[in-house]
């Protein structure tokens, strides 16, 4: 088959040409909140249509409401299948294409393919999510957060009722990882259930005092049926202390019930995303080799069900594998891999070998393939265009959007295309990032620079849309935006990722500073005396680090914004949930390696703080507890540094509620405007 690689930049420009007019059109915070959130495409078994989800912000209700839509795969009018004040999401087709399972009101429902005859399937007290059909159409697997000591619904219901009536809301635990992201996990466990596709009694396939899948490491849906519907593969962490382990092993269990078997016991790193090959001989899955390192390279693995052996299919491939999809004939595997801020689509023979890039210059997610193997469907976006559902022929030709739900809102916007740039970082390493000019750019003017620092730290700025930290909000406000991907960023090979561990403020800081200096050298329209820095999570850590090291002779930061930033590494260790992360990054605990924690902790350099700083956080953040931000603000105030604190009692690591998001953006822009304009 001839390989066909296509760039979609021309298509994006054509599709978003309405965006680039030089007039008075704006892209404000209000406009951002009006953008419809398109995703989760699911191709029908007959290949003729696609079900997908669209989320719309209800600003007055302070939430996003999601509903399910359907449209022909060849294009045409889309039909809304669900409606009402409650969200409906997670559409999944029945094998015969006659039904769609979905989640609404915390339960699994099934409707006809045209949206008629909606029927509730699960009615369990602890709720249900993540529906997966068995190939014979008789069963639906799902997850529920249950009381591990309970063996039936009657027990779970009694526990739920007792908890609801009790005036005591205390948390009691005797194990770590007792909370995660925004919720306490001291009582319940996630288990995989199956239920008849027409309802009935749900059966727990994974009973016991453990999570399956492990909520701390699992993907969206990490369980699947064998082709004969007699077996289910799922994830579980068998280690005693889950808070220091990334060992999510792959298990199999008979769907009729019985003992589970660990089939990846020899690997101590992550496993996830199991899918059976169509002939039932193999299970494909993703795996990380390093124990305790959540940012190790995701490999594509194949488990031989006859021999019990696992093998890597892409040896030498130095990028993270995502969205594994089998061709209908079983001869090819399609997948996505992040690279230099993009998500191109690859193909490889099912027996392994060298992958071929099918589609370039896209940021693809939720990859699907039609039953005839001729068409790929996925969601795609860029920094200048919000997500839409796209289709492309399996050889990379014929690319085009299926949905255009944001055309109207984009016609009222003026969005800036991102420019790529490279510079030399620490030790001569080439570093990559993105630069965006202000709306209605005038090269004869001088503009302030906003440097946005991504979190992770093993993450990346991508050429993709974001509702949080959207750079277009800053360009609309008159800022040049610089989005660097220094050491630790994903998409540049595993060694590049590894080089930030145990070096959080070292070479990566040089990468950032050299990038800013190069931006200033190349672009005379930027005022080097008006530079602001902002970041969240690790990006917030870097802002806190900059506070103590704002002494580069080439430029100075004049204002900073730290959101959910790590300030004191020792206190961070004692209050965060995923201890494997800090123990890997700083090579031990604060008592086994105190020098490392002190060396890279921003609070050790408070004597140098003198840059005006806005500090923001969510009280429900259990990843970087908001007390880190309180400590930073206290130090700034006691040092007499101009500072402001913004805390959301109803938010976690991310500011998600629409009204809160609006306030956050406005507060950040006001802070920058005050100090940089």
Q: 45's torsion region: left (phi>0), alpha (psi -120 to 50) or beta?
A: alpha
Strands (E), 310-429: 310-312, 321-326, 332-337, 345-349, 356-359, 364-369, 375-382, 385-393, 400-401, 419-424
Task: Return the SS3 of 519.
Answer: helix
Q: Is 67 among the residues known to form the active site?
A: no
Cα 633 to the chain's mean position, in Å? 29
Active site includes 287?
A: no
Q: Considering only CA atoms, which of 207, 294, 185 is closest in space to residue 244?
A: 294
Distance in angstroms (rounded) separating the CA atoms of residues 243 and 175: 9
Beta-carbon neighbour count of residue 385 at 10 Å? 22
CA 29, CA 666: separation in Å to the nearest integer? 8
Which one of the listed residues 67, 454, 653, 675 is annotated catalytic? 653
Bridge partners for 144 per DSSP: 191
Residue among 131, 125, 126 at smallest CA distance from 111? 131
Find, among 336, 211, 229, the residue nearest to 276 by Cα. Answer: 229
Where would I find the H helices in 460-588? 471-476, 494-498, 507-522, 538-548, 569-575, 579-585
Collect all residues with Cβ–Cβ distance below 8 Å to 115 and sequence separation of at least 6.
68, 70, 79, 80, 81, 82
Point out the catalytic residue in the list 211, 454, 621, 675: 621
635 to 430, 537, 612, 621: CA distances (angstroms):
36, 19, 12, 21
Give φ, ψ of 512 to 5 degrees: -65, -50
Residue 563 annotated in active site? no
Question: What is the H or E stretch that residue 631 is in?
Answer: helix 627-639
Catalytic residue among 537, 562, 601, 643: 537
Q: 314-344 in b/e burial notation, b at 16+ Cβ within 10 A?
A: beebebbbbbbbbbeeeebbbbbbbbbbbbb
- The residues annotated as belonging to the active site are 537, 621, 653
């Amino acid at each position: 088959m001839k390989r066909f690689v296509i760039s979609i930049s021309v298509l994006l420009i054509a599709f978003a040409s309405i965006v680039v007019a030089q007039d008075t059109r704006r892209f404000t915070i209000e406009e951002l909140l009006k953008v419809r959130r398109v995703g989760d495409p699911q191709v029908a078994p007959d290949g003729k249509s696609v079900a997908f989800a669209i989320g719309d912000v209800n600003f007055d209700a302070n939430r996003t409401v999601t509903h399910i839509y359907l449209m022909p795969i060849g294009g045409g009018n889309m039909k809304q299948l669900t409606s009402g004040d409650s969200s409906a999401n997670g559409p999944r087709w029945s094998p015969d294409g006659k039904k769609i399972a979905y989640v609404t009101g915390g339960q699994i429902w099934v409707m006809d393919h045209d949206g008629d005859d909606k029927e509730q399937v699960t009615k369990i007290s602890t709720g249900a999510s993540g529906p997966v059909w068995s190939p014979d159409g008789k069963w639906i697997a799902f997850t529920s957060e249950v009381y591990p000591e309970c063996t039936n619904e009657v027990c779970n219901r009694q526990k739920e009722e007792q908890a609801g009536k009790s005036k005591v809301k205390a948390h009691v635990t005797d194990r770590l990882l007792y909370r995660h992201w925004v919720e306490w996990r001291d009582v319940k466990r996630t288990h995989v259930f199956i239920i008849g596709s027409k309802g009935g009694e749900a059966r727990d396939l994974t009973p016991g005092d453990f999570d399956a899948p492990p909520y701390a490491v699992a993907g969206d849906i990490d369980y699947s049926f064998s082709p004969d519907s007699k077996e289910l593969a799922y994830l579980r962490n068998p280690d005693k202390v889950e808070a220091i382990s990334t060992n999510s092993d792959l298990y199999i269990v008979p769907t009729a019930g019985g003992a589970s078997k660990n089939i990846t016991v020899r690997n101590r790193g992550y496993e996830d995303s199991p899918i059976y090959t169509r002939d039932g001989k193999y299970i494909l899955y993703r795996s990380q080799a390093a124990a305790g390192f959540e940012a190790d390279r995701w490999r594509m693995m194949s488990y031989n069900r006859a021999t019990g052996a696992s093998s890597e299919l892409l040896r030498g491939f130095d990028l993270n594998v995502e969205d594994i999809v089998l061709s209908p004939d079983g001869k090819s595997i399609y997948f996505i891999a992040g690279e230099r801020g993009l998500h191109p689509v690859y193909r490889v023979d099912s027996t392994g070998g060298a992958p071929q890039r099918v589609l370039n210059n896209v940021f693809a997610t939720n990859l699907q393939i039609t039953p005839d193997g001729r068409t790929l469907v996925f969601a795609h976006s860029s920094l200048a265009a919000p997500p839409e559902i796209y289709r492309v022929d399996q050889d990379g030709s014929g690319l085009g959007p299926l949905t255009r739900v944001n055309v109207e809102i984009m016609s009222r916007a003026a969005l800036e295309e991102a420019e790529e740039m490279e510079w030399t970082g620490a030790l001569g390493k080439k570093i990559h990032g993105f630069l965006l000019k202000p709306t209605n750019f005038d090269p004869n003017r001088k503009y302030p620079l906003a440097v946005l620092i991504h979190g992770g730290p093993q993450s990346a700025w991508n050429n993709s849309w974001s509702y949080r930290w959207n750079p277009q909000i800053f360009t609309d406000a008159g800022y040049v935006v610089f989005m660097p991907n220094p050491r630790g960023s994903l998409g540049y090979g595993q060694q590049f990722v590894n080089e930030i561990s145990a070096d959080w403020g070292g070479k990566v800081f040089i990468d950032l500073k050299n990038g800013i200096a190069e931006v200033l050298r190349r672009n005379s329209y930027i005022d080097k005396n008006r530079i602001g820095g902002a970041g969240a999570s690790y990006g917030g850590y870097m802002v806190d680090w900059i506070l103590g090291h704002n002494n580069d002779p080439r430029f100075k930061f004049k204002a900073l914004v730290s959101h959910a930033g790590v300030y004191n590494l020792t206190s961070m260790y004692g209050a965060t949930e995923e201890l494997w992360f800090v123990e890997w990054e700083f090579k031990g605990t604060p008592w086994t390696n105190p020098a490392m924690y002190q060396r890279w902790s921003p609070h050790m350099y408070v004597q140098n703080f003198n840059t005006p700083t806005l500090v923001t956080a969510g009280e429900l953040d259990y990843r970087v507890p908001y007390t880190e931000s309180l400590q930073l603000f206290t130090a700034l105030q006691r040092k007499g540094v101009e500072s402001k604190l913004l805390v959301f009692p109803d938010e976690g690591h991310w500011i998600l509620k629409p009204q809160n998001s609006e306030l956050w953006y406005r507060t950040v822009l006001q802070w920058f405007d005050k100090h940089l304009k």
